[in-house]
Structure 1
Amino acid sequence: MPKINGNEIRPGNVLEHNGGLWVAVKADHVKPGKGGAFAQVEMRNLRNGSKLNERFRSADKIERVRLEQRDQQFLYENDGMLVFMDQDTFEQIELPADILGERRPFLQDGMTIEIEYYESEALNARLPQKVTCKVAETEPVVKGQTAANSFKPAVLDNGVKVMVPPFVGPEEDIVINTETMEYAERA
């Protein structure tokens, strides 16, 4: 595995630190008035979700881990476990439903998602960046409301509340960005 300097850590990097696998959530580079520069890195454990704040100097060497990404199709949910199938080998795996966190409602039947593996252990799951959803309820369209940045609340068919532009009405399909959990465009 390649080793990187402490000042090369970027958000999204997966690191082996203190015997565990950690993903860098935030990395702030600090140059204090006295002493050497360092990177203040907020990390999340990929196995148990715990968080850790750590300082790395540029001279520190950290193992950077490369995860293997495989596209897998979502089949069904069973007792809080999500069942996915590898589209090449047809092998099925089960992952806990909380692996997707607050993005869980955007998972749809038959959707292909990216699952990241370390050796043979599934550690992370990533939804497609854009997902099409139907607006279940929102205020009616108001003619002539053309304010540049005005948004109104809407509830999607999966129960998630988002802000949408004033021209979007009920029963319309819209595209949601799953990374920011915001309205992206009309479908």
Structure 2
Amino acid sequence: MAVEIAADIRKGNIIEHTDGQLYVVLRAESFRPGKGTPTTTIDMRRISDGIKISNTYKTSDKVERAFVEEVEFSYLYQEGDNYVFMNTSNYDQVTVSGAMVGDGAAYLQENMNVTLQMFNGEPVSLTLPQRITAEIVETEPVVKGQTASGSYKPAKLDNGLRIMVPPHIGVGTRVVVNTDDGSYLERAKD
């Protein structure tokens, strides 16, 4: 275990809470008011049973961060509510629960490389690539003369997700999407 100050905790970190349980950090946000004590709010999910909690710490409070091994895996397929990944170095397969994958399941693509955080040989958290490429399958038609506008229109991706895209993007266009917040980044260059 490593001790860090609360302000240094980031999404995806595994921490040991005061109850002795391991938690994965879902969101960590620091708040620095003009007057008063700066604080960090950490939203986390207990690894053992999936219960979510939120705690607020002073930014200088000490938090125990668990040592986890980050291992590169390749996504293979979905099996019921679970997802199967293969270790890219030794070809071992690991099954990860749908609860652990969470909202990131929609971004999973066959043979996509992800990072699994392993604690005592068991997966405890999953990190997706920062960006994925997907194809637009449904959107409003392109409106002539609206390409320079700052407005966005709804679009549906081939993975079923709905995002907002610029008006000049049409059906069949491949786009790059940010996996953190599901936002459109750019048109794919492939």
Q: Which TM-score bucket, shorter chain as reference?
A: 0.7 to 0.9
Report the CA distance between 1:11 and its aligned residue: 3.3
Q: Is the 8 A contact 2:147 2:166 kept in 1?
A: no
Counterpart in 2 of 1:26? 28
Amino acid of the structure 1 residue aligned with 2:105: R
Distance across 2 between alignment mates of 1:145 and 1:55 = 45
Distance across 2 between alignment mates of 1:31 and 1:182 = 29
- Greater Rg by CA: 1
Q: Is the 8 A contact 1:134 1:156 kept in 2?
A: yes
Aligned runs of 1:117-128 on 2, under 5 Å? Answer: 117-128=118-129
Distance across 2 between alignment mates of 1:103 and 1:82 = 11
Q: Which runs of 5+ in 1 are unaligned?
A: none
Q: Is the 8 A contact 1:22 1:43 kept in 2?
A: no
Pairing 1:91–2:99 present:
no
Amino acid of the structure 2 residue aligned with 1:89: N
TM-score, normalised relative to structure 1: 0.85
Aligned runs of 1:103-114 on 2, under 5 Å? Answer: 103-114=104-115
Counterpart in 2 of 1:2? 2
TM-score, normalised relative to structure 2: 0.84
Report the CA distance between 1:143 and its aligned residue: 1.3
Q: Secondary structure at the match of 1:45?
A: strand
Counterpart in 1 of 2:68? 67
Q: Secondary structure at the match of 1:105?
A: helix
Q: CA 1:52 to 1:32, structure 2 compared with 1: closer, same or farther past 3 Å?
A: farther
Counterpart in 1 of 2:82? 81
Provide the aligned length of Structure 1 versus Structure 2.
Answer: 184
Q: CA 1:19 to 1:185, structure 2 compared with 1: closer, same or farther past 3 Å?
A: same
Q: CA RMSD in A?
A: 2.4
Counterpart in 1 of 2:171? 170
Distance across 2 between alignment mates of 1:84 and 1:38 = 40
Distance across 2 between alignment mates of 1:144 and 1:33 = 49
Amino acid of the structure 1 residue aligned with 2:149: A
Q: Secondary structure at the match of 2:74?
A: strand
Counterpart in 1 of 2:16? 16
Counterpart in 1 of 2:145? 144
Q: Which runs of 5+ in 2 are unaligned?
A: none
Report the CA distance between 1:97 and its aligned residue: 2.1
Distance across 2 between alignment mates of 1:135 and 1:43 = 33
Pairing 1:41–2:41 present:
yes
